[in-house]
Amino acid sequence: MNLVKLTAVEQLEGLRSGAFTSVELTQAHLDRIASVDGVVHAFLHVNASGALATAAEVDRKRAAGETLPALAGLPIAVKDNLTTIDEPTTAGSKILEGWVPPYDSTVVSKLRAEMMPILGKTNLDEFAMGSTTQFSAYGPTSNPWSLDRIPGGSGGGSAAAVGAYMAPLAIGSDTGGSIRYPAAMTGTVGTKPTYGAVSRYGLIALGSSLDQIGPVARNVQDAALLHDVIAGHDERDSTSLPEDLGSMVAAASNGSLAGVKVGVIKELSGSGFQAGISARFQESLELLKAAGAEIVEVSCPSFQYAIAAYYLILPAEASSNLAKFDSVRFGMRVTPEGNPTIERVMAATREAGFGPEVKRRIILGTYALSSGYYDDYYGSAQKVRTLIQRDFDAAFAKADVLVSPTAPTTAFKLGEKIEDPLAMYLNDIATIPANLAGIPGLSLPNGLADEDGLPSSIQLLAPARADQRLYSVGAVLEKAHENVWGKRMIDFAPEVKAGA
Amino acid sequence: MAKAELMNYEQALEKFEVVIGLEVHVELNTKTKMFCGCRNDFGDEPNTNVCPVCLGLPGALPVVNKRAVESAIKIGLAIGCDIAPNGRFARKNYFYPDLAKNFQTSQFDEPIAFEGGVEVEVPSGQVYKIDIERAHMEEDAGKLTHVGGNTGRIQGAEFSLVDYNRAGVPLIEIVTKPVYGAGAEAPELAAAYVRYIREVVKALDVSEARMERGNVRCDANVSLRLHGAEKLGTRTETKNVNSLRSIERAVRYEIQRQAHILANGGTIIQETRHWHEDKGTTSAGRPKSDADDYRYFPEPDLVPVAPSKELIEELRASLPEDPATRRKRLQEAWGFSDLEFRDVVNAGLMDPIEETVAAGASPQAARKWWSGEIARQANADGKDVSELNVTAAQVAELAALVEAGKINDRIGREVLAAVMNGEGNPGEIVSAKGLEVVSDDGALMAAIDEALAKQPDVLEKIREGKVQAAGAVIGAVMQAMKGQADAGRVRELIIERAAQ
Ligand SMILES: [Zn+2]
């Protein structure tokens, strides 16, 4: 039995029934990493001994008949922008090379409390700025479906790790689509929860008002398992929601579309979307209808300004969030020749430590916040944000969930668009509005595009705090796809050619 | 640095109108810091009261200290401000090595308290209304110590040490509107205003309020304009003024310095200036322009502070009496004349006298010691009385010794000098030095007889009714007793002897 090919739910059943131990399961994933990550490059750091130690502890407790947390013994990968105590955390940047945080992020603490062996830290665009993982200072990650293609970003590492069976589950973070877009590129499932549903404490901030941590998995039920573990109020994060949003596992298990109104966002379809993606999307609308849903069209006219607003708000917040990387207290320090004043050391360190996309966004953000420009740029962008929230309010008055393709195209080639930031920014056209409005979104595999045989995807959106709807609708649609295609989408992925 | 030329003060006032503005930083005495759980005690071993939040480590998030918010509201109410129902924090972005995040979490366009006013009395008895623009919450920076070089400033230092114990300490900054019309009394008004704020925060028990420890810090803005001119002159902001006396001196100095420049056709540079206590001068610091760009924007990591009406009213009801009422009450209780009381207030002696009376001394005795010997010493040392090494309890003990006839006033002064010299408490000093007055009549009589033997005609004169003749013998006896005798008792004994 190839343990890594099992779903997370199946792996947990195997652990509980004694079919295999957590050490065996963890070792199987470590072996898989050893065999394919040389070509995929999903991981920046693998902690075999730490993962096996946790696994052994779970096995010992299980053998002793002790009660264990629900996900105990199930391995997981963590995006490298969440702090892990005594384990390197780079955020994909040279400026943090060698930094070992003295504290765990809240989400990592929860994984440890759940006794999940943490396999390692996954690759990302530097500070999560990018949609292809090519802006990682440590080299790009490849798409398991086609190694010369992007896995999406910024969380390409987590998506590729899960997609290539190196981990059953992974943690991602989504600021403008960094969980959902890589899920779309790799035929996996990824959720951005409601803003505040998961604590951001210990997440290296990109855009503080947009960032949200969420689960990456190979199917809806698996994602729900992880979602339930990481969600919940945290007194260390002032923006975390006080209320319990309910069980996602329960929602996924009791999925139903009877009487559910599904809104199709007019502005996120048609021109600009690859034909094969649009075709699969239309088919899914039929599947939803057949499952009992009512399809309605909604219009969100302000979405046309979403990318412009996002690329003012995000760089503005990022420029301030990244100011702390100054060589004084942690991370890289470059001491220039001659008289090394503090200003010169800071400048030299930031010059050497930050990559081009990070510098681009720091400059953009610094400009957008400058006095005299603030009202025109940051101020206007915040007004657009309000308009987008109103568009969603109006749309959710007509529909329980909204749908669109997650991404306008399937995965393109590594190196493509890299010199054209504006073209690159359009990858997130469908995902960004949810971050600006703080609402939850889930990306689900949606068949393969006819043109290239690569994964197509559909995005489900729900009102803030109604994350459960994503799972109940998502589980039904996932089942419908399986019936139509004869197997799970992920099972169409070609075997990764190891050692290429 | 060339010494600045000054215009004669009276001349300066004849020619120019003085406009001042005061920014007072009050360090709160909360148990923990503004945004984390670290102890608010920066006197500890450097960098021991620190955590990921106040060190600005990647991933850390702030959480507002509720108690600090309550203190801010109390201060706001006590200085007549309105309280914002929904106040946001903002980031003030600038790079400096003492600023862990390279932004200060402060308040910008939505301060917690705004539009207040206080009435302040200056030594002449004149009362001025000072309008308060705002009071806002912010965090302190770390403390830098510059090593090497001889200026103690960052320029020219070999290296600098940072103590982050102070980073994140809660501060309230109280900003006045421009204050016009104080004329020659502007320097005294500045000092009286800061004294008033100190009294307020002390009475509220929200700060230790010790200027010499930096609990209350004042930046004084001074500008001049020709009498009748409409436009405000260019202002300077003098920092680092750490005593009431210095505030008065610094404002006066700036008036004279600016007057000289303006009268000679020069222009004032808008800049911060450093006050040098030893030399009694200010020197140019950083140029400061209105174009200083801190790129303020709302702090996305914190939700707005929204104190309920109930909380505000509860805090309002808990306010202690205002300083004016307190003065009236104390003057009546102590039975001081208007002149006596004004002197006490202007010398900043109200608190120590109140504490001394509370420790058991009579109001007059307390006043005598504080406004006599102690004030004289403070003046000679160029310090505030609070900086001297003497407590209210020690003064009360001293007064009790005099009251009981154990020592006389002259010995009392000697004991007080020893107390201020750090030699111990009054009682200990009296015993250690054997200063207690000789109250053994036998010993006194022996000394009297000895003196009388040298001046045999004295007894005769007394018998003739010339009682003042006893003076010569009293002097001789006091000399023989090295001053350790009660002169009144000596006099009585001489008269007794004459009657025999
Ligand atoms: Zn702290």
Are residues B24 and B55 part of one domain?
yes
Ligand 1 centroid vs B59 CA: distance in angstroms?
13
Boundary residue ending a domain (B410, B433, B456): B433
Give residue ranges of A with CB < 8 Å to any B CB.
Answer: 82-83, 89, 91, 96, 99, 101-103, 105, 200-205, 207-209, 235-239, 316-317, 319-320, 323-326, 328-330, 342-343, 346, 366, 369-371, 374, 378
What is the pairing mode between strands B82-83 and A261-265? unpaired
- What CATH number should be reported for the domain holding residue B487? 1.10.10.410
- Output the pLDDT for position B152: 67
The Cβ of residue B143 has, within 10 Å, a number of other Cβ atoms equal to: 17
The Cβ of residue B328 has, within 10 Å, a number of other Cβ atoms equal to: 12
CATH superfamily of this structure's domain A3-267+278-298+393-497: Amidase signature (AS) domain (3.90.1300.10)
Q: Would you call A232 exposed, middle or buried from its count of C-beta atoms within 10 A (0-12, 13-18, 19+)?
A: middle
pLDDT at B290 over 60: no
Cβ–Cβ below 8 Å for A83 and B63: no
- Output the pLDDT for position B191: 96
Are residues B152 and B129 part of one domain?
yes
Are residues B451 and B367 part of one domain?
no
- For chain A, say whether B300 makes contact (Cβ under 8 Å): yes
The radius of gyration computed from the CA coordinates of chain A, to the nearest angstrom, equals 21
Note if A109 is an active site residue. no
Cβ–Cβ below 8 Å for B97 and A236: no
- For chain A, say whether B393 makes contact (Cβ under 8 Å): no
Query: In terms of CA atoms, which chain B residue is nearest residue A103?
Result: B52
Note if A79 is an active site residue. yes
Between A71-80, B6-15, B207-216, the lowest mean confidence (pLDDT) is in: B207-216
- Output the pLDDT for position B317: 95
Are residues B362 and B288 part of one domain?
no
pLDDT at B1 over 50: no
For residue B3, being part of any structural domain is answered with no
* CA distance, residue B55 to nearest chain A CA (Å): 8
The owner of tokens 């419908």 is: A480
What is the pairing mode between strands A170-174 and A189-192? unpaired
pLDDT at A420 over 90: no
Type of residue found at B281 = T
What value does the mean pLDDT take over residues B124-152? 90
Are residues B296 and B353 part of one domain?
no
Please tell me the distance from the alpha carbon of residue A470 to that of residue A185, in angstroms, as a whole number. Answer: 19
Q: Measured between alpha carbons, how far is residue A107 from residues A198, A243, B172, B250, B398 in Å?
A: 8, 17, 34, 53, 63
Q: How many domains does chain B have?
A: 3
Cβ–Cβ below 8 Å for B59 and A205: yes
Of B91, B97, B302, the CB nearest to A320: B91
Cβ-Cβ contacts under 8 Å for A473 (sequence gap 6 or more): A255, A257, A260, A262, A288, A293, A401, A460
Are residues B485 and B375 part of one domain?
no
Please tell me the distance from the alpha carbon of residue B160 to that of residue B153, in angstroms, as a whole number. Answer: 9
Note if A256 is an active site residue. no
Residues of A in contact with B98 (CB under 8 A): none
How many residues belong to chain B?
Answer: 500
pLDDT at A372 over 70: yes
Cβ-Cβ contacts under 8 Å for B298 (sequence gap 6 or more): B88, B89, B90, B91
User: From the candidates A22, A93, A154, A173, which is the catalytic residue?
Assistant: A154
Type of residue found at A74 = L
- Domain ranges for chain A: 3-267+278-298+393-497
Ligand 1 centroid vs B43 CA: distance in angstroms?
15
Q: Kindly state the percentage of chain B with pLDDT values over 70.
A: 98
> Six-digit token pair at B228?
């009748």
- Output the pLDDT for position B291: 56
What is the pairing mode between strands A261-265 and A189-192? unpaired
Residue-wise pLDDT for B464-492, tens only, equals 888 888 888 888 888 888 878 888 888 88
pLDDT at A223 over 90: yes
Please tell me the distance from the alpha carbon of residue B492 to that of residue B500, in angstroms, as a whole number. Answer: 13
Residue-wise pLDDT for A239-271, tens only, equals 999 999 999 999 999 988 999 999 999 999 888
Please tell me the distance from the alpha carbon of residue A31 to that of residue A25, in angstroms, as a whole number. Answer: 10
* CA distance, residue A401 to nearest chain B CA (Å): 27
Q: pTM for this one?
A: 0.87
- Output the pLDDT for position A81: 98
Of the candidates A356, A240, A374, which has an alpha carbon nearest to the alpha carbon of residue B91?
A: A374
The radius of gyration computed from the CA coordinates of chain B, to the nearest angstrom, equals 28
Are residues B24 and B105 part of one domain?
yes
Question: Are the beta carbons of B163 and B153 closer than 8 angstroms?
Answer: no
Question: Are the beta carbons of A326 and A382 closer than 8 angstroms?
Answer: no
Are residues B237 and B131 part of one domain?
yes
For residue B50, being part of any structural domain is answered with yes
Cβ–Cβ below 8 Å for A342 and B97: yes
User: From the candidates A131, A136, A158, A178, which is the catalytic residue?
Assistant: A178
Residue-wise pLDDT for B228-271, tens only, equals 999 999 999 998 788 999 999 999 999 999 999 999 999 999 99
Cβ–Cβ below 8 Å for B302 and A366: no
What value does the mean pLDDT take over residues B371-388? 87
How many residues belong to chain A?
Answer: 500
3-state SS record for chain A: CCHHHCCHHHHHHHHHHCCCCHHHHHHHHHHHHHHHHHHHCCEEEECHHHHHHHHHHHHHHHHCCCCCCCCCCCCEEEECCECECCECCCCCCHHHCCCCCCCCCHHHHHHHHCCCCEEEEECCCHHHCCCCCCCCCCCCCCECCECCECCCCCCHHHHHHHHCCCCCCEEEEECCCCCHHHHHHHCCEEEECCCCCECCCCECCCCCCCCEEEEEECCHHHHHHHHHHHECCCCCCCCCCCCCCCCHHHHHHCCCCCCCEEEEEHHHCCCCCCHHHHHHHHHHHHHHHHCCCEEEEECCHHHHHHHHHHHHHHHHHHHHHHHHCCCCCCCCCCCCCCCCCHHHHHHHHHHHHCCHHHHHHHHHHHHHHCCCCCHHHHHHHHHHHHHHHHHHHHHHHHCCEEEEECCCCCCCECCCCCCCHHHHHHHHCCCHHHHHHCCCEEEEEEEECCCCCCEEEEEEECCCCCHHHHHHHHHHHHHHHHHHHCCCHHHHCCCCCCCC
Cβ–Cβ below 8 Å for B301 and A208: yes
What value does the mean pLDDT take over residues A286-294? 96
What value does the mean pLDDT take over residues A98-111? 97
pLDDT at A493 over 90: yes
Please tell me the distance from the alpha carbon of residue B436 to that of residue B402, in angstroms, as a whole number. Answer: 10
Cβ–Cβ below 8 Å for A236 and B297: no
Residues of A in contact with B291 (CB under 8 A): 371
Question: Are the beta carbons of A177 and A131 closer than 8 angstroms?
Answer: yes
* CA distance, residue A175 to nearest chain B CA (Å): 14
Q: Measured between alpha carbons, how far is residue A415 from residues A38, A134, A150, A418 in Å?
A: 19, 8, 9, 6
Please tell me the distance from the alpha carbon of residue B8 to that of residue A140, in angstroms, as a whole number. Answer: 72
Residue-wise pLDDT for B308-324, tens only, equals 999 999 999 999 988 88
> Six-digit token pair at A329?
């207290």
Of A82, A205, A323, the CB nearest to B95: A323
Domain that holds residue B348: 321-433
Average pLDDT, chain B: 91
What value does the mean pLDDT take over residues B68-87? 96
pLDDT at B462 over 90: no
Are residues B333 and B307 part of one domain?
no
Residue-wise pLDDT for B37-60, tens only, equals 999 987 789 999 999 999 999 999
Residue A424 banded pLDDT, cuts 50, 70, 90: confident
pLDDT at A492 over 90: yes
Boundary residue ending a domain (B315, B330, B351): B315
What phi, psi does B430 have (nearest 5°)?
A: -60, -45
Are residues B74 and B23 part of one domain?
yes
Ligand 1 centroid vs A201 CA: distance in angstroms?
14
Q: Kindly state the percentage of chain A with pLDDT values over 70.
A: 100
Residue A216 banded pLDDT, cuts 50, 70, 90: very high
Residues of A in contact with B300 (CB under 8 A): 207-209, 239, 317
Cβ–Cβ below 8 Å for B102 and A326: yes
Cβ-Cβ contacts under 8 Å for B332 (sequence gap 6 or more): none
For residue B385, being part of any structural domain is answered with yes
pLDDT at A56 over 90: yes
Ligand 1 centroid vs A479 CA: distance in angstroms?
49
Boundary residue ending a domain (B259, B291, B315): B315
Query: In terms of CA atoms, which chain B residue is nearest residue A209?
Result: B300
Are residues B361 and B232 part of one domain?
no
For residue B342, being part of any structural domain is answered with yes
- Output the pLDDT for position A500: 46
Q: Measured between alpha carbons, how far is residue B8 from residues B5, B13, B191, B255, B260 in Å?
A: 10, 9, 21, 10, 8
What value does the mean pLDDT take over residues A406-432? 92
Ligand 1 centroid vs B141 CA: distance in angstroms?
12
pLDDT at A386 over 90: yes
What is the pairing mode between strands B90-93 and B297-298? antiparallel
- Output the pLDDT for position A169: 98
Residues of B in contact with A385 (CB under 8 A): none
What value does the mean pLDDT take over residues A463-480? 97
Are residues B217 and B118 part of one domain?
yes
Residue-wise pLDDT for B344-354, tens only, equals 988 889 989 99
- Output the pLDDT for position B151: 66
For residue B311, being part of any structural domain is answered with yes
Please tell me the distance from the alpha carbon of residue A351 to that of residue A328, in angstroms, as a whole number. Answer: 15
- Output the pLDDT for position A499: 57
- For chain A, say whether B297 makes contact (Cβ under 8 Å): yes
Mutation target for B interface from A324, A339, A345: give the one with most B CBs within 10 A: A324
Question: Are the beta carbons of A102 and A135 closer than 8 angstroms?
Answer: no
Sign of the Cα torsion A110, A114, A118, A123 reads: negative
Please tell me the distance from the alpha carbon of residue A223 to that of residue A443, in angstroms, as a whole number. Answer: 11
Residue-wise pLDDT for B148-203, tens only, equals 876 667 777 788 899 999 999 999 999 999 999 999 999 999 999 999 999 999 99
User: What's the N-to-C CA distance of chain A in angstroms?
Assistant: 25
User: From the candidates A22, A79, A192, A456, which is the catalytic residue?
Assistant: A79
The Cβ of residue B453 has, within 10 Å, a number of other Cβ atoms equal to: 8
